[in-house]
Amino acid sequence: METGESQPWPAGEWQLLLAGVITRAGELGELAGVDPAAGGGPSAAAAEHQFAVRVPRGFAERIRLVREVAGAPSKLAVELRDEG
């Protein structure tokens, strides 16, 4: 590698991330804060067997944070409605 050339990932970092990925849709939903009732039923279970789930844990955390922020205005509106 020449001086000044950048690497997209530090050496070995991607292997560590890959070793700790989420491999089950149910676990992803749980960590991302999705209601288990929204699991998708039998078709989702069949799809999980056909297509491998590989999601880094940090990405699942970002999904959960976005869901919290996106849901905050509607939760506030319900609270204000109930108070008023």
Give tens-digit pLDDT for 14-25.
788 888 899 988
**Total structural domains in the chain?**
1
**Three-state SS sequence of 7-57:** CCCCCCHHHHHHHCCECCHHHHHHHHCCCHHHCCHHHHHHHHHHCCCCECH
Residuewise pLDDT in 10s, the chain (84 residues): 455 666 666 667 778 888 889 998 888 888 888 877 776 677 777 787 888 888 999 888 998 888 888 876 666 667 777 876
Whether the predicted model's global pTM rises above the 0.85 cut: no
In-domain check, residue 40 = yes
Q: Is residue 1 part of a domain?
A: no
Residue 75 lies in a domain: yes
The residue segments making up the domain with residue 21 are: 13-83
